[in-house]
Structure 1
Amino acid sequence: MNPVLYDLRGLKCPLPVIKTRKKLAAMASGTLIRVDTTDPLAVIDMPHFCNEDGHELVETEKTESGHRFLIRKR
């Protein structure tokens, strides 16, 4: 199953987490989402958000302009 791509580049904290939480709420359990961010705090915020909400952070990747997160909805 291919992940849903979600481009949140250019948004500052806390918007990437807020928008990811809202997007995941509308998705089926087990769905993968790949989130692209440029917010430097996202590398701290996204893992914390996943841990808090029970989602699986499958992968974190440093990109040229920020970070990319692969998340599986619980």
Structure 2
Amino acid sequence: MIELDCRDLPCPRPIIELAKALPGVAVGDLLAVVARDPAARHDVPAWCRMRGQEYVGEERADDGAPRYVVRRLT
């Protein structure tokens, strides 16, 4: 799984980084966005719905930061 470290990036940068990284992920593979920005909790699932990708869910990184996991479908 590819993990994007967006811990210190303000909204909307975590989503921008997700959109930039997705083409480098094989269909069916996972991509995780680690972001402390509170908006990411809503923005990542919404972006997935709009872009036809699967929002797998929220986990915690080793340091406790939220990790939002996405599966590339297309």
**Secondary structure, counterpart of 2:17 in structure 1:** helix
Contact 1:38/1:65 (CA < 8 Å) preserved in 2? no
Contact 2:4/2:17 (CA < 8 Å) preserved in 1? no
TM-score under structure 2 length normalisation: 0.84
Decide which moves more: 8-17 or 54-63. 54-63
2:69 corresponding residue in structure 1: 70
Q: Percent identity?
A: 35
User: Runs of 5+ in structure 2 lacking a partner?
Assistant: none
2:54 corresponding residue in structure 1: 56
> What is the CA distance between 1:36 and its match in structure 2?
0.4
> What is the CA distance between 1:5 and its match in structure 2?
1.5
Let me know the Cα RMSD of the aligned residues: 1.6
Q: Which runs of 4+ in 1 moved over 4 A?
A: 62-66
Contact 1:17/1:45 (CA < 8 Å) preserved in 2? yes
Change in CA separation of 1:13 and 1:65 when aligned onto 2, cut-off 3 Å: farther
Change in CA separation of 1:58 and 1:39 when aligned onto 2, cut-off 3 Å: same
How many residues are paired up? 72
TM-score under structure 1 length normalisation: 0.84
1:46 corresponding residue in structure 2: 44
Amino acid at match of 2:67: R
